[in-house]
Amino acid sequence: MRRRRLLASGGLALGVGLAGCLDSLTGGGSGRPTQARVEDPPDAVYVPTHVEGMEMAGMARDGRLRFALSYSFPHAFWLVTGDRRRTVDIREADSVHLMVSAWDSETGMALPTSNATVSISQDGEAVVEKSLWAMLSQNMGVHLGDNVALPGEGTYDVALSFGPPEARGIGDLAGALADSASGTFQLEYSPSTLSDLPYETFPDRQGERDAVAPMEMEMQPTGQLAPAGDLPGRALGEGTSGDATVVAQALDAVPAGVEGEGTYLAVSARTPHNRYPVPLMALSATLSRGSRTVFDGELTGAIHHELGYHYGAVVDGVEAGDELTVGVDAPPQVARHEGYETAFLEMDPVSLSV
């Protein structure tokens, strides 16, 4: 077992300027190690050094879609291009980690990826405009987020331009995700509210192959997918790739919004422990029956009222004895918070015997 320890936090990693800034954010030298890292973490989902609570600034609705705007401390996170990962460190100017959560009110399904652009202004003056990254966080779930620099304490107007999501809506969500949507929020930002947010470190567990549980949120879904046993259709099997859990189901009725006739093959890629969808992957599948290949093609990202976010294709039936191989053409390009950045990068095919 490799030894893991907390890297030096705050002052050493960030320099005097940022340490001072964090002091002011956290109400004066409470020393929250927001930039702390686990040294030499496993290539898998692991318990982070710490998690922080978040404050909801407000909610908005457009048609059947719902949006929540929340914020937390600025976070380090990781962006992915292909199988390359890069670290985004906290800037001295960053005030908050801003998050938009989106879901369909009729099915409760979270929309983990989409165009989501926020324009932040104060007294009519533009402050920040940016398109948020699709992100995974162990305690805050799937969201669209980024660190944002605000000029100071005060009230900000936030205009959200959302959608349409890349994934198509199917089943009860057929046609529901085709258009763009918008929402407006007021963000009351004060460093003292931020410093009052709950904060928890995991000195004994950090670096372990496990995950922090999702936050309890009264007003919004966490984005967790249903347990494999509760998914619709026939269970074809389950495997793992790059520490993601890959669950395959066969739906004998092709859901609304999907063209073609036959059986709908649905592959749900989810985080271990917390069952969050793993979006922005390219998956393909090969279905073999004896010496015959009955399907060999790409899976398309979709959101279904029971399956949630998944990858699917119409195949000409799935029978007992078939061999299903799910290949990962590109790992998830979703941004990751601490504890997810080393997982879901090296991803082998998953083979299942039906």
Stated as kind and residue range, the H or E segment containing 19 is helix 11-25
240 residue type, one letter: T
44-52, 110-118, 245-253, 256-264 -> range binding other proteins (CB under 8 A): 110-118
- One of 43, 129, 188, 252 touching other proteins (CB under 8 A): 129
CB 77 to other proteins: min, Å:
9
Judged on CB neighbours under 10 Å (0-12, 13-18, 19+), 121 is middle
Separation CA 41–CA 24 (nearest Å): 30
Among residues 131 and 353, whose Cβ is nearest to other proteins? 131
CB 146 to other proteins: min, Å:
7
Stated as kind and residue range, the H or E segment containing 193 is helix 191-195
- One of 171, 183, 332, 339 touching other proteins (CB under 8 A): 332
Among residues 273 and 336, whose Cβ is nearest to other proteins? 336
Among residues 252 and 329, whose Cβ is nearest to other proteins? 329
Separation CA 294–CA 305 (nearest Å): 27
In the range 152-191, which residues lie near other proteins by CB under 8 A? 161, 163-166, 178-180, 182
* Binding flag, residue 330, other proteins (CB under 8 A): yes
Tokens of 256: 């609304």
For 262, 266, 326, 349, the CA distances from 241, given in Å and listed in that order, are 27, 16, 10, 7
* Binding flag, residue 91, other proteins (CB under 8 A): yes
CB 3 to other proteins: min, Å:
30
* Binding flag, residue 79, other proteins (CB under 8 A): yes
CB 127 to other proteins: min, Å:
8
Tokens of 36: 């702390």
Among residues 128 and 251, whose Cβ is nearest to other proteins? 128
- Using the structure block, give the residue that is written with the tokens 């009955």: 294
Separation CA 102–CA 223 (nearest Å): 9
For 97, 102, 202, 306, the CA distances from 48, given in Å and listed in that order, are 17, 25, 7, 30
* Binding flag, residue 113, other proteins (CB under 8 A): yes
* Binding flag, residue 134, other proteins (CB under 8 A): yes
Q: What are phi and psi of 272, to 5 degrees?
A: -70, 160
Among residues 212 and 244, whose Cβ is nearest to other proteins? 244
**Under a CB-based contact definition with an 8 Å cutoff, are residues 331 and 317 in contact?**
no
How far does CA 170 lie from the centroid of its chain? 20
* Binding flag, residue 193, other proteins (CB under 8 A): no
- One of 2, 3, 28, 126 touching other proteins (CB under 8 A): 126
- One of 52, 75, 111, 146 touching other proteins (CB under 8 A): 146
Sites of contact with other proteins (CB under 8 A): 79-84, 86, 88, 91, 93, 113-115, 117, 126-131, 133-134, 146, 161, 163-166, 178-180, 182, 280-282, 284, 298, 300-301, 329-333
